[in-house]
Amino acid sequence: MTSLTPLLQAQTGLTGRRAAWASLRTRLEKVANAAVTPLVPADYLDLFHPLRAGAELRGRVVSVESETADAATIVIRPGSDWAGHVPGQYVRVGVDVDGVRQWRAYSLTHGPRRDGCISITVKAVPEGVVSNHLVHRVRVGTLLHLEQATGEFVLAPEVTDGPDVARLLFVTAGSGVTPVVGMLRNLFPVTDSGVVRPRRSAHLDITVVHVAPSRPDSIFLRDLEALDAAGAIRLVARYDDAHGFLDVDDLESLVPDLAGRTTYACGPGGLLDVLTAHHEARGLPLFTEQFRPSTLVVGEGGTVSFRNGATVEADGSSPLLDVGEAAGVLMPSGCRMGVCFGCVIPLKEGAVRDLRNGEVTTAVPGETGPEGVRIQTCITAAAGPCHLDI
């Protein structure tokens, strides 16, 4: 009978060597981290390969293409962990402007591209910190922070893949054309020889009512006119300076078969509100997309809400630390004088005021990063409704 002792000894030796290597690797990692403190090796990897798998999701600007005097298309190569998107979705982009990271949401203006890039089209708005930076200042090679694509303003599979004729109406206004262009480019690709009308899109009957202040201010007008000339869509262009503001009651005359179409609309809130009332009154199907600006009302005090669902009304002079403790929330704390920073937690939404100097700090969903803004609760009070991530 063969003895098992040598085999057990060999297995034990192998296990011991593996443990030794694991211990050595752990010690080497600690040495490497200590050598680059306060950074870690991953921070240095970011310098050489910021788009690698496992890194914080970023994208590198590949090109900046002017669309109008105040609009540009930014083509971005996303990192390896980009999960892709469906035409019509949007992406939140983080941009560092003057040392402060700002976040904004922009529609993706292409379907999946062969080169793996994505694109957004940005219209600079007056006093817009991020939009003006992207349109007028961003350069090729700039790294932008990204989140994964999201949004439900997309064509249903039964529309794009179904065998039956699908009659669609797109109503776009201003930069609201961007998600629609992403859908149309996916349905009707453009090549060097012009617009392609693939068999998979032959069952689609599409009308586009596009509203803009004037023809020179019309983003993607060349694309829409090319699609119209190729017979892929029927374009109804309306310019405020030539036709006046669009009256939605005129849609029946602009689109005689309106009642037989499913409408997708994207644009300013006022237009979408009126269009929603119009379609609801007639029982017509409507899907809308709108980035409503978040408005913070800064005042004295307000409703403070917490992660666990607790809410409490706070005045404008009570520190949020005291407010949370009175509501039964376990709040981190330290010196209670604003010195030790032991009370710092994220403000996810709302406005707070520094009780020492009156300075107001705000967190706006869609603009502030997903991690929120870190505040010292012992020296800040509510300056309106606010939500604390604790």
Tokens of 389: 């991530």
Do 57 and 82 contact (CB within 8 A), yes or no? Answer: yes
Q: How far is it, in rounded angstroms, from Cα 204 to Cα 118? A: 25
Contacts of 46 (CB under 8 A, 6+ apart): 55, 56
Q: How far is it, in rounded angstroms, from Cα 354 to Cα 124? A: 32
Tokens of 76: 């971005």
Residue-level pLDDT, tens digit, the chain, 390 residues: 445 455 445 555 555 666 666 666 666 555 555 554 444 455 545 656 788 898 889 999 999 999 998 999 999 999 999 999 999 999 989 898 887 778 888 999 998 898 999 999 999 988 788 899 999 999 999 999 999 999 999 998 888 887 889 999 999 998 899 999 999 999 998 777 789 889 999 999 999 999 999 999 898 999 999 999 999 999 999 999 989 889 999 999 999 999 999 999 999 888 899 999 999 999 999 999 875 544 455 568 999 999 989 999 999 989 999 999 989 999 998 777 777 778 999 999 999 998 888 888 888 887 777 788 889 999 999 999 999 999
Do 350 and 359 contact (CB within 8 A), yes or no? Answer: no
Q: Where are the alpha helices (DSSP H) in the chain?
A: 5-36, 41-48, 129-136, 157-160, 177-187, 221-229, 240-243, 251-254, 269-282, 320-326
Global confidence as pTM? 0.67
Domains in the chain: ranges and CATH: 13-48 (no CATH), 58-146 (2.40.30.10), 157-289 (3.40.50.80), 302-388 (3.10.20.30)
Which amino acid type is present at position 57?
L
Q: Using alpha carbons, select from 295, 268, 242, 63 the residue that is nearest to residue 175.
A: 268
3-state secondary structure of 68: strand
Q: How far is it, in rounded angstroms, from Cα 269 to Cα 11? A: 70
Q: At what angle do helices 5-36 and 41-48 cross, to 10 degrees?
A: 70
Task: Work out whether strand 302-306 and strand 194-195 pair parallel, antiparallel, or are unpaired.
Answer: unpaired
For residues 199-214, one letter each, b for 16 or more C-beta atoms within 10 angstroms of the residue's C-beta and e for the rest, the string is eebeebebbbbbbbee
Q: Across the chain, which distance is largest between two alpha carbons, in Å?
A: 101
